[in-house]
Amino acid sequence: MNKLILSLLALCTWSAFAPIPPCSPLRFINKIVESEDVAWLLGDLPGHPQRPCPQADPRTASNRDRYLSSFFLSDPNVLVDELRLESRFWTEKGLPRIHRRFWSVFDHEAGLRRL
């Protein structure tokens, strides 16, 4: 049972748009989240924009700036707080924005679809 809970927790962690550390090999995810194409949805996502890598060579950065696991393991409450913050963002802002964007395609007065 504990392995199942640990697996689910690991999946939830990677599904969140938590800020990826600035020197991580996966730092391109931050650029996707911060891009203009998704600004209507993720423009005020907590933790973004992420600061650039302070090192000229990202491979020489500290573990905290390089690995997401170091960030989460530095304090036991960080993961819980991050998941709470992400879920609050999606329930209060993200899903309503998606809902409004989807239904804005339809013209309610004429009942016709706008292109």
**What residue spans define the domains of the chain?**
2-103
pLDDT at 13: 45
- Measured distance CA(16)–CA(48) in Å, rounded: 13
Instruction: Answer yes or no: pTM beyond 0.75.
Output: no
Contact 71, 78 (CB under 8 A): yes
pLDDT < 50 stretches in the chain: 13-15, 115
**30-37: long-range contacts, CB 8 A cutoff, minimum separation 24:** none
Instruction: For the chain, give the longest Cα–Cα distance.
Output: 60
Q: Where are the alpha helices (DSSP H) in the chain?
A: 2-15, 28-33, 39-42, 63-66, 68-73, 76-89, 95-103
pLDDT at 15: 47
Task: Pull the structure tokens for residue 1.
Answer: 């049972």
- Measured distance CA(110)–CA(25) in Å, rounded: 50
Contact 38, 32 (CB under 8 A): yes
DSSP 31: H
